[in-house]
Structures are given as structure tokens and as C-alpha cells.
Amino acid sequence: MTWMVVGAKGMLGTDLVARIKRDGHEVRAVDLGDIDITDVDSVNTVVADVDVVINCAAFTAVDPAEENEGTAFRVNATGPANLARRCAQIGARLVQISTDYVFRGDGSTPWGENDPVDPMSAYGRTKAAGEWAVQAYTDDYLIVRTAWLYGKYGNCFPKTMAKLAQTHETLKVVTDEVGQPTWTVDLADLIVRLVDAKAPSGIYHGTSQGETSWNLFTKEIMRSIGKDPEMVLETTAAAFDRPAKRPSYSALGHDALVNIGVEPIGDWRERWVVAASDVLGL
């Protein structure tokens, strides 16, 4: 098969290209400068003669999106709409990467794939609109929601915390935001396995299993770099004045994967142990 990764220079896109090549498939890696997903003519010109298109391109700056919702909408909703229409025209399968931010984030049990979306932020609204657009314009799609991504190729939470730990005696990290730290290598592998399994069109959740807080995740990061986890102090989201509201509970359920016989990503703590040296360059 011939695959196309849109947003191929990003953290997830880079790992996806490597994972697809590992299976011997032809992969076309495109990014800004190669394609403008908000422009129909650009999409129709670039997206041709491919079997699978994976859209990793997104406006992911959560706080700036509050003041630039129009721009975020063009990238996160109009872009996927253009890709979906084009994929339908050429008979390609579209994989759209989405987010936990489409949910309200005030639950206490993992969000299901079919739970109603109710985003609280501009970022969440525009990504939910992107999901709707994909489902409206093509019948052959996989929407893969993910959250709390970290990886080797790009800025991410573990790198930030590890860097801060070199210059600070203590780190204050929130205890009241819960989710599933997820390695981009694992998500890339899951996406390829979903496509290989010819998964039915629908919504799937691509996160690690289990759940934790940012605070407890930071303690694991400290252990990985040989720092005392007790240097990580507790605080709450209320202590930070940020334009966009964050979900307090972001854990996603994986029933849709289990129901089609595709193994979900493993427990977040076990996967971090494997990922840490690669992500942090240890």
C-alpha cells in the first residue's frame, strides 16, 4: 500500500513515517510547504494515488486557540473536511487524529468512544468539528483520539519537567488533572495495526491504559533521571491562570479496540519505563 502522512515532521508524524517504512510500505511524508490542508486546490493536487492518508496536522496550541479560534477552525475542521472529500474521491482511507478535549472532562470513569462530545475550549470545539467533518464527507475513516502525548521528536511534558528539574529544587505540579501519558511510538504502532486489521470505520481511542495525574507522572519522570520524586510538590489547576480550561479527567476507554480484536496500548507506567531513555536521551 501507499501511505501519506500529513504533518509528517511533527512528533507523532515522525514516528508514524518510521513505523510505516518498517513494514515495507511506500510512505509520502508531507508537511507545511508541501501541502496546505485549508486550501482545496492544494489538497486535491497533493493527495493522489495513495491508499491511506493519516492527518496529524493540527492547531494544537490550546491557549492561543482561545483568541484565534477562526485559525484553529480552519486547520482543525476545514482541513480535515478537505482531506475527507479528497479521500472519498480517490478511494483512500482517512485516519484523523483527534483528542480527549472533545469531552467535557469532568467525569470519573474513562470516556467511551460513543459518549457525547461537549468541549469546553476553542481547541476542543474545533477538533470536535473536525471529527464531524470527517464523518460527513467520507465513509472510509478512522478517527483516533489520543491525549497526553510525549515523544522523542518535539517538545513534550517529560522533556520540560526533566529540564526544569536541573535548575529548580522543587517542582509544583497539579494533582487534579488525570489522564493517560501516551508515547508517540506506541500510538503510531496502534494506527498501523488498525489499518492493517481493516478496522471498521469509526472512532477509536489511542491512549495508554491506566491513569495518573500530572503530578504522579512527574514523579516517575524524576525517577527516570535520577532525581528525588519528593521534589515534586502538589498544587491544583486553580493556581494557574490559563485562558483555556483543561479537562480535569481525560482518561479514555478502549472498548472499540477490544471489540474488533486489536490490542490497546499497554499500561502508561510500563510504557514510560520503556520510552524514557529514548524520549529524554538518557
Q: How far apart are CA 158 and CA 151, in angstroms?
A: 9
How far is Cα 226 from Cα 171, in angstroms, rounded to an integer?
Answer: 15
What Å distances lie between residue 113 and 22, 117, 184, 193, CA to CA? 29, 10, 20, 18
Which triple of cell numbers denotes residue 84?
475527507
CB 280 within 8 A of CB 225: yes
Per the CB < 8 A criterion, the answer to whether 219 and 161 are in contact is: no
Classify residue 140 as exposed, middle or buried by CB count within 10 Å of its CB (0-12, 13-18, 19+). middle
Q: Is 198 helix (H, G, I), strand (E, B) or coil?
A: coil
State yes or no: is 123 an active-site residue. Answer: yes
What amino acid occupies position 99? T
**Selected catalytic residue, list 123, 137, 204, 249:** 123
Helix axes 157-164, 268-280, angle to 10 degrees: 60
Q: 259-276 burial, b for 16+ CB within 10 Å, e for fewer?
A: eeebebbeebeebbeebb
Residue 3: phi, psi to the nearest 5? -110, 150
Q: Which residues are catalytic?
A: 123
